[in-house]
Structure 1
Amino acid sequence: MNFDQLNLDPRLMEGVRSAGYATPTPIQAAAIPPALAGNDLIGTAQTGTGKTAAFVLPILQRLLSGPRRRTRALIVTPTRELAEQINATIRALGSASGVRSATIYGGVPMPPQERALRDGVEILVACPGRLLDHIDQGNARLDGIEVLVLDEADRMFDMGFLPAVRRILKQVPAKRQTMLFSATFPPEIEQLAAQALRNPQRVAVGLTQPAATVTHALYPVPQHLKTGLTLELLKHTDTRSVLIFTRTRHRASRLARQLERSGYRVTSLHSDRTQNQRQAALDGFRNGTYQVMVATDIAARGIDVASISHVINYDIPDTADAYIHRIGRTGRAEREGDAFTLVTPEDDATVKMIERAVGQRIPRETIAGFDYSAPVPENTQFAGRSQQPRGQAGGRGGSQQRRPSR
């Protein structure tokens, strides 16, 4: 299939070509035709597969006819980064359409959002909490919504947004097209789908599997040597675009400072940063101003940077789904990528869970010359799980043999 076969409006085809799209990805090929037909849809796909365009193009096609300057499509998403990413896709694909869109999320002043709502937009991309604020203050009306998209529904559940989403559902017309996208379907999401959708078609691509273009490796290490091993990994790695995940925002900030002192151009992304700081961090990471970004899981589904070559899990994620979403930041659009995870002996159960989910044993690696037996410095505390040094970490010896020079 190619995009010409989808019978899209010529104005959208202009946007498709300008955005560099060649042929639809599997999720786009599966989801766009039923969405164009107006069917309710449940979509599941691994991250980095082009899911956003799978619902944006049908929305734009629908909005090219009918009234303008009235909000006719609502996309609800859990984080401000995802909201901006979706809005960027709308503007790229709809560049020749004249369709207007706006983002609504917290952490920034309300007046500019109020002006955008007052001036009129056809597509609203919103985080649940701030959208409800605008509804309560009379700034936003959803009675004209024709298409509703619930994106990253499982993430909204994880973040406690389902009650807010249910409130939003009461504000939109019962007669509408609804599309729900979720990487996983816990019972709560199945219940939400049953409430929000009518006779939905289901499309699923690459369920709970990382991209085949990503190479995995585990690096056993005592907790107190994680920062030292991270620095050693970076010495052996092409550091043009490296994303490092930590468990907490405090550790993200501390690790970023330590890497910066070691000479790397580093930024961080976590919930303590303002929206302007977060956007500046993302922009600088995209354009190469920063070689390394240290982030919490807020970035696991909110970064759309095609050129990330390496993901390093400074802290192993708690679930297999989180692991897959983290490493999905590299190996995007069929590019090659590497995912390195630092693991302590206390992580054994989590490692086994992840290996079962990805269907393979992940190789254990060590770096030649690194002192894995160095003791904990006196009067030094490190955050994270309590861990006493266990001596030499296990795994295959040798230096990095698989590290591509990209």
Structure 2
Amino acid sequence: MSFDSFSLDQRIMAGILAAGYTTPTPIQTRAIPAVLAGKDVMGLAQTGTGKTAAFVLPLLQRLLNDNAPTRGPIRVLVLAPTRELAVQIHQSFFGLGKQTGIRSAVVIGGVGAMPQIKALRQATVAVACPGRLVDLMNQGAVDLSKVSALVLDEADRMLDMGFLPDVRKVMAKLPRQRQNMLFSATMPAEIRSLAESGLRDPVTVQVSNTAPAATVSHALYPVAGSRKQDLLEKLLNDLGKNSALVFTRTKHRAKGLAQKLAGKGFSVTSLQGNLSQGRRQEAMDGFRNGKYRVMVATDIAARGIDCERVSLVVNFDLPDTAEAYTHRIGRTGRAERNGEAVSLVAPEDESQVKFIERSLNLRIERKRLDGFSDSAARAPQYDSQPRTQQSRRPGPAPRKAIDSAATKSLLPVRSGAGATSRGDNPTSARPKAAASAGKPRQHSASANGGASARDAQPRSRAAGQSQQAEGPDGDRWMQVWGKAQPKQLLGATGHRGQDDRRASAGRTPRNEGRSAK
């Protein structure tokens, strides 16, 4: 089957020829006639199967059939989860429809809004990320009242990124009479519910379910985590002039790994969430035109990467889900070309490998390279030479709960029925049960009945210990050492202030009796 069988306009056929397309893919063969007939379509296909052209080509043809103005208002709206994917779809409309004169505008975050608003006023096709589009809708800067076709691309990824509420807000502002298309690699319950509520009697186009493309070979290399970078360097050296895409789990790992590879002489760039839109576009363009041979990226940042030169995908960090594995390896083996997907697996990742294999009904071939094995990660490594004895200085003393001056105060409490010594602050009386929680130690009290903190010379003792001693008048006293101080004596900061310490020792604060200024 050829593209001629779709009876597309010659201007569109010129775009197909310029793009280098020769034979439609399975999803294009099944989806294009349904879209041309004006039916709603639900496409289940992983990335790399040609699904973008499956809706771009027939939508361009429908706009020509309807004699739609080429410079607005917006007739076709496409929602995509990431900026890179939105730019890719926009470029597809521009490239395939270049001879038609139909204008397309892209609406994404990370760049100024005013140029996008101006472009939307003269565009017939709008490709947008949901978040930025909702912002423009709230400002009244976009008119969606004439939209006749809506496309939700990679709907499962929009769900993962939390865009579903924004998608519903956009759909609520569109005309009821419209054509709807939803494309997704997987079909979670939330996406199925969205399809049931937004699509009318859709034609379901399913290609290989969630299974990876048949043009991609899979391999798994067991390796210790500390040797992953060395193994990656060997794989890249054996790659020749082809391009490779390396996936990491976090943006910090992507940035750090790219810097290390660049230090080893590799032509490498990174694509991760901390980059500005200008830097992201520069990285994408450099990777596509061959300036960079290696790109290190995260899952979300790599959505929309469409580079035919990618022959190797490396999972430096194993993905969390089977769907993420499918999306990753879909960056290679595109358009019926052959590709290779390699996963570097540490021993602790083996259970995740089994889960991915079970979910995709796929057996990944285990391979080994000389000098690289996971055995190093299974057994601890020891130095052949004994370690020399090194002197160790004692660490700092534990930090006390209250300041050192407060810990030296002794709170005399008469062992009788709550009676206190003359001159003592009544609030300094501590309940005997609580005060006796620590271990006793011998300590002498001052000759007068009201022992003060200055008179007492306690030995160094851990906070919270207490002492029962016999006073000269025959009374028993409880001397409390450390952090267990009554709350009434604590200042605003939680420590005993200077006046509080004097009050507990039976002394008058220095400023007592002074008139307030």
Alignment of 1:115-264 (within 5 A): 115-118=118-121, 120-238=122-240, 240-264=242-266
Structure 1 residue ranges without an equivalent (≥5): 375-388, 393-406
After TM superposition, the runs of 4+ consecutive aligned structure 1 residues lying more than 4 A away are 371-374
2:82 pairs, out of 60, 79, 85, with 79
2:291 pairs, out of 289, 292, 299, with 289
Supply the distance in 1 between the matched residues of 2:177 and 2:319 (Cα, whole angstroms): 40
Supply the distance in 1 between the matched residues of 2:295 and 2:23 (Cα, whole angstroms): 31
Contact 1:213 1:331 in 2 (8 A): yes
How many Å apart are 1:373 and its aligned residue? Answer: 5.8
Contact 2:261 2:268 in 1 (8 A): yes
Supply the distance in 1 between the matched residues of 2:68 and 2:363 (Cα, whole angstroms): 54
Alignment of 1:13-162 (within 5 A): 13-64=13-64, 65-68=67-70, 69-118=72-121, 120-162=122-164
How many Å apart are 1:357 and its aligned residue? Answer: 3.1
Supply the distance in 1 between the matched residues of 2:203 and 2:362 (Cα, whole angstroms): 31
Contact 1:208 1:357 in 2 (8 A): no
Greater Cα offset, 309-318 or 227-236: 227-236
Supply the distance in 1 between the matched residues of 2:68 and 2:298 (Cα, whole angstroms): 42
How many Å apart are 1:365 and its aligned residue? Answer: 1.7
Supply the distance in 1 between the matched residues of 2:78 and 2:224 (Cα, whole angstroms): 43
How many Å apart are 1:179 and its aligned residue? Answer: 0.4
Supply the distance in 2 between the matched residues of 1:43 and 1:163 (Cα, whole angstroms): 21
Which SS does the other structure have where 1:96 is aligned?
A: helix
How many Å apart are 1:59 and its aligned residue? Answer: 1.1
Supply the distance in 2 between the matched residues of 1:167 and 1:211 (Cα, whole angstroms): 34
AA partner of residue 157 (structure 2)? R
Residue in 2 aligned with 1:390? 378
AA partner of residue 299 (structure 2)? D
Contact 2:222 2:373 in 1 (8 A): no
How many Å apart are 1:150 and its aligned residue? Answer: 0.5
Contact 1:239 1:292 in 2 (8 A): no
How many Å apart are 1:391 and its aligned residue? Answer: 4.0
Contact 2:224 2:373 in 1 (8 A): no
Which SS does the other structure have where 1:134 is aligned?
A: helix
Which SS does the other structure have where 1:322 is aligned?
A: helix
CA pair 205-373 structure 1, distance change in 2 beyond 3 A: closer
Supply the distance in 2 between the matched residues of 1:235 and 1:126 (Cα, whole angstroms): 39
1:228-267: CA deviation from partner (whole Å, max 9, x where unpaired): 2222322333353010000000000000000000000110
1:331 pairs, out of 319, 330, 333, with 333
Instruction: Report % sequence identity.
Output: 57
Q: Which has the larger radius of gyration?
A: 2
Supply the distance in 2 between the matched residues of 1:9 and 1:232 (Cα, whole angstroms): 49
Supply the distance in 2 between the matched residues of 1:92 and 1:257 (Cα, whole angstroms): 34
AA partner of residue 215 (structure 2)? T
Which SS does the other structure have where 2:185 is aligned?
A: coil
How many Å apart are 1:74 and its aligned residue? Answer: 0.1
Contact 2:103 2:125 in 1 (8 A): yes
CA RMSD of aligned residues (A): 1.5
Contact 2:222 2:374 in 1 (8 A): no
Higher relative contact order (CA 8 A, sep 6+): 1
Supply the distance in 2 between the matched residues of 1:299 and 1:130 (Cα, whole angstroms): 17
Structure 2 residue ranges without an equivalent (≥5): 381-517
How many Å apart are 1:363 and its aligned residue? Answer: 1.6
Which SS does the other structure have where 2:39 is aligned?
A: coil
Supply the distance in 1 between the matched residues of 2:18 and 2:161 (Cα, whole angstroms): 35
Supply the distance in 1 between the matched residues of 2:265 and 2:297 (Cα, whole angstroms): 18
